[in-house]
Amino acid sequence: MLTPWLWAVFTIIAAFAQTLRNAMQRELTGTLGTVGATHVRFLFGFPFALLFIAGLALATGATLPRPGSVFWPWVIGGAFAQIAATALMLAAMGERSFVVTIAYIKTEPIQVAIFGLIFLGDRVTLPMMTAIVVATAGVVIMSTKPGGMVGGMRPTFLGLAAGSMFALSAIGYRGAILSLALSNYVMAATFTLVIGLAMQTASLSLYLWLRDPSVLRAIVRAWRPSLLAGFLGALASQFWFLAFALATAASVRTLALVEVLFAQVIARLSFGQRITLREAVGMVLVVAGVALLIWAR
């Protein structure tokens, strides 16, 4: 019998791995450009996803699923929304600080709740919606100052648009996982991850080969940091998908707001940035919202 808290454990692991990957991708943007740094998470993550599913098959004896026609629109939508989201996120990071960009993106949970209700029929109770609003308010407070939102219209738009695309990606991937209707949720999640990364790797590789092959050569030259970023991306995605298999996308993406707290820790340790009173208040609200979400479920 599955523990009711397993989805939360998967989500926290995914959020931590994703925070590390985001920081690494931000550094790669300077040498590879936005599209090149976006491609790193897919190109170098795909081999690790193959290792994940091969290890799962060998360890459990599980066979690969045979997806029906319903699976493909979901996974295609999830895969290409994620490409757009990652590119928008890195573009925003190029104009604003790491923590501020993450804060803009993490206004996503409310959109996920709406999309999940519309497309998947995922029920959102009043306590769950309260938790989503409280945690999201904490993120917004962390990204504001007395003069208003930090950074001007362009980075704000890029960050919010990235959040919308991440929301649609989450819904697409959860829909794909559920459409497989497997009792083995680990295989359903891992298979969906492999297919999604295969599509993303092939499409972005073709795009760069046709438009700017020099970027592909630059990615190969930067293989050492790219390999680690790819592994962290694949690891984060694996645990996101496991969480999506067990809980609504709204629950997973709300709990994922702990990534903002991880981003603060990284900013403190790596860049020496101090936490202000406003940011502390925001973090308290994020924690309160997450705690309420866990109780509501």
**Which whole number is the average pLDDT over 7-23?**
89
12-16, 69-73, 254-258: range with highest mean pLDDT: 69-73
**Which H/E stretch holds residue 145?**
strand 144-145
Other CB atoms closer than 10 Å to residue 136's CB: what's the count? Answer: 21
Segment 23-33 mean pLDDT: 78
Identify the H or E element spanning 249. helix 249-255
- Beta partners for 145? 148
- Angstrom CA distances, 180 to 11, 68, 69, 185, stand at 21, 7, 10, 9
pLDDT at 170: 95
**Among all chains, which residue has been given the structure tokens 């998947």?**
120
pLDDT tens digit string along 84-122? Answer: 988 887 777 766 555 566 667 777 888 899 899 999 999
* Residue among 99, 86, 235, 102 nearest 168 (CA): 86
Give the containing element (helix H, strand E) for 49: helix 46-60
pTM for the predicted model, two decimal places: 0.86
Q: How far is CA 233 from CA 8, 90, 246, in A?
A: 19, 14, 20
Of the pLDDT bands very low, low, confident and very high (cuts 50, 70, 90), residue 245 is very high
Q: What is the pLDDT of residues 172-225, one digit of tens each?
A: 999 999 999 999 999 999 999 999 999 999 999 999 999 989 989 999 898 888
What is the pLDDT, as a whole number, of residue 143?
Answer: 66
Residue 101, class by beta-carbon neighbours within 10 Å (0-12 exposed, 13-18 middle, 19+ buried)? buried
- pLDDT confidence band for 68 (50 / 70 / 90): very high
Q: Which of 62-66, 187-191, 224-228, 262-266 has the lowest mean pLDDT?
A: 262-266
Which tens digit of pLDDT belongs to each residue from 276-290?
788 788 888 888 888
3-class DSSP state for residue 216? helix
Instruction: Supply the mean pLDDT for the chain.
Output: 86
